[in-house]
Chain A
Amino acid sequence: MDLSSISPVLLIASLMISATPILLAAIGEMVVEKSGVLNLGVEGMMITGAVVGFVAAINSGSPGLGFVAAALAGAALSLSFALLTQVLLSNQVATGLGLTLAGLGLSSLIGKPYEGMKAASLPKLDIPLLGDLPVVGRMLFSHDIMVYFSLLLVLAVWAFLKYTRAGLILRAVGESAESAHALGYKVVQVRVAAIMFGGACAGLGGAYLSLVRVPQWTEGMTAGAGWIALAIVVFASWRAGRVLIGAYLFGGISVLQLNLQAAGMTWGVQYLSMSPYLVTILVLVFISSNRSRMSHDAPANLGQTFHATR
């Protein structure tokens, strides 16, 4: 094994690439959970976004259109979740699971003819001046536009929740739907909007996997990334800034294990591949061990069905 072949500069650069899909999905899911809805279908929406984005990019030749299509597909799929949980008042956990199962089936149905093809990828934005800096330039300033978009999105979500009236209403709906309803806010409408935002973000994250990170379509390619995104929201205790830290942490772990595999660590490739999942569990345990803080941070109405009686 040759550890010196792992270059820290490339490691951090590829960390940002590998963290972006999880970051996009996680920031979307965080908004959904802030509105009091637990959507466990992230994995299903992500993989649908991955396949739709890929197919759209191949047929149109434009990765940009691929991302738009993926966001629309994710939002459309999440609309079915919204319909079931908000209008037909079904159990959110069960419906989310159903969304994941249906999304996995739908994606492999759509993607079958496109296996093994290659789509045009996003160009790297070599930002002038900054991109020419010696070490930092390659590390931080020579990525594609989606990496910076995801960072901007985190900032926007943070500002939206903290400083805008609409953000305050969204949080109120998540903390106490009854009170928000009594004040005259449309709980169901707010939640449906949040769910669709989450779906669009998950779709974008999936498309980033199939168009940039991998980049091709294989069945089941998200391999639990959607579930890791859900775990990151818990890890981040529902705060935008910490979602960023969490996603980059996991990006780092998965890049590091890939680098170790590539550096010729021959024993137990499987043990390296399982490390992101094990680390997720460890982090969840660490975060949840402080129980009083945990229950303080979670939106008070998370996962509860709201039915307006008056």
Chain B
Amino acid sequence: MIRLEKRPQPSRIWTTITPLLAVLLTMLFGGIMFGLIGTPPLETIRTIFWDPLFHPQFAGFSRPQLLVKAGPLILIAIGLSIGFRAGIWNIGAEGQYIIGAICGAAAGLALYPMDSALILPLMILCGALGGWAWAMIPALLKVRFGTNEILVSLMLVYVAENILASVSSGLLRNPEGMGFPGSRNLSQWSSSQNLELVPNTGMHLGVVAAFIAVIAAYVLLTRHIEGFNIRLSGAAPRAARFAGVSPARTILFCLGLAGALAGAAGLFEVTGPAGQISIDFGSGYGFTAIIVAFLGRLHPVGILLAGLLMALTYIGGELAQLMLNVPAASIQLFQGMLLFFLLGVDVLTNYRVRIARREVA
């Protein structure tokens, strides 16, 4: 008879080992899945995890993509993780990302074709504010009416997608685009472009912002009273209230921060890699970032590593699509599996597995 015994506190060793174990299990079961759909398992796994970094022919192109993809994932996941720590489940980052991009792009396009170094900073500010405002809707509703933030933030993703479809064929449509939906190309306008800072590294402003966010979140969570309050609210809500931590303030702070970071991520994307507001701008980063946050154990450094790993599966997935005809959806399933295995093996962090004979009562 296998019995689980709760540990007094989570095991430190297992906290580090479980994500690696989950990755290994995902590779194993992912390989079986690839085998089932008729692609060579070992080769597919190698194409996803190894070739983007070390393949003599493709690595030169795909290595910079790593930071391009990891940047928004890390930036969004950092914001989400702080909320998750406090027990606030913002799962609408995708919507905040889209609205941030729209607001930032709109601010820039309003000034087109002016030439100024201040335009990009203004756009970043508006992008973050847009995401912040979008996240304030579930936050204020939760504070004022106690409305479930999970459902509201998620519903707002669908609303944001409809707004995106509307503005890309209406308000923000490129007047010189011959009637095609989609805005002007922001990455080709010198005042708004968010280019690589160091050639061939993929390092653009958004990646820098992601790194800064990692450091800031680390300081916040380990060295600042606000971070302590957030962790306290998550671990023991009643104790937090007795200690004078205002639940309303925590909700507004966590959701607002996550929204602002997601909005900024959207803006960096629209001025850089994506280039324009278009109907298919929302690419699912907001949802994948949830996996990144958990895979990184809601810890800033963990999220940094998890973001890079998840970016690798994106790029490797594209490569596997190209080389081995692996369907795009299998990569999405692969990422979902990763989260599942992680949550499953997490039992080892919080519980001891004891093998004992069943006692007779």
Contact = CB atoms under 8 A, between A and B. Distances in A.
Interface of A: 40, 80, 83-84, 88-91, 93-95, 97-99, 101-109, 112, 219, 223-224, 227-228, 230-231, 234, 268, 270-271, 273-274, 277-278, 280-281, 284-285, 288-289, 291, 294, 307, 309
A80 B347 CA distance: 15
Nearest to A104: B332
A284 B339 contact: no
A89 B91 contact: no
B343 A270 contact: no
Given A106-B333, A227-B155, A273 B162 contact: yes
Given A97-B290, A102-B333, A112-B327, A224 B162 contact: no
B158 interface: yes
B156 interface: yes
B242 interface: no
Given A93-B150, A101-B335, A109-B330, A271 B162 contact: yes
B40 to A, nearest CB: 17
Most chain B CB within 10 A, of A108, A231, A274, A307, is at: A274
B152 A227 contact: no
Interface residues of B, number: 46
A288 B162 contact: no
Contacts of B345: 88
Which of B4, B37, B146, B294 has the most C-beta atoms of chain A within 10 angstroms of its own C-beta?
A: B146
A231 B155 contact: yes
Contact of B37 (A102, A109, A291): A109
Interface string B318-338: 000000000111111111110
B55 interface: no
B67 to A, nearest CB: 24
Contacts of B335: 101, 105
Contact of B162 (A91, A105, A106, A270): A270
Interface in B131-187: 141, 145-148, 150-152, 154-156, 158-159, 162-163, 165-166
Contact of B159 (A40, A80, A274, A284): A274
Given A274-B158, A285-B147, A288-B145, A101 B291 contact: yes
Contacts of A106: 329, 333, 336
Given A105-B335, A281-B156, A274 B162 contact: yes
A93 B344 contact: no
13 contacts: A84-B343, A84-B344, A90-B344, A93-B150, A102-B340, A105-B334, A224-B155, A281-B156, A284-B147, A284-B152, A285-B145, A288-B146, A289-B147
A25 to B, nearest CB: 14
Contacts of B339: 94, 97-98, 101-102
Contacts of B4: 89, 307
B151 A89 contact: no
Contacts of B155: 224, 227-228, 231, 277-278, 280-281
A93 B152 contact: no
B291 A109 contact: no
B46 interface: no
Interface of B: 4, 6, 37, 89, 91, 141, 145-148, 150-152, 154-156, 158-159, 162-163, 165-166, 287, 290-291, 294, 327-337, 339-340, 343-347, 350-351
Q: Top 4 A-B pairs ranked by shortest CB distance?
A: A102-B336, A105-B333, A105-B332, A108-B329
B329 A112 contact: yes
A227 B150 CA distance: 10
A114 B105 CA distance: 38
Nearest to B155: A277
A104 B4 CA distance: 32
Contacts of A309: 6
Contacts of B343: 84, 88, 90-91, 94-95, 98
Contacts of B328: 108
A257 B159 CA distance: 15
A78 to B, nearest CB: 13
A116 B239 CA distance: 56
Nearest to A295: B146
Contacts of B152: 281, 284
Given A91-B343, A102-B340, A294-B146, 12 more contacts: A88-B343, A90-B347, A95-B340, A98-B336, A102-B337, A109-B330, A270-B166, A277-B156, A280-B151, A281-B147, A281-B152, A284-B151
A281 B153 CA distance: 9
Contacts of A277: 155-156, 158-159
A84 B340 contact: yes
A290 to B, nearest CB: 9
B151 A90 contact: no
A97 B145 CA distance: 24
B146 A291 contact: yes
A270 B332 CA distance: 27
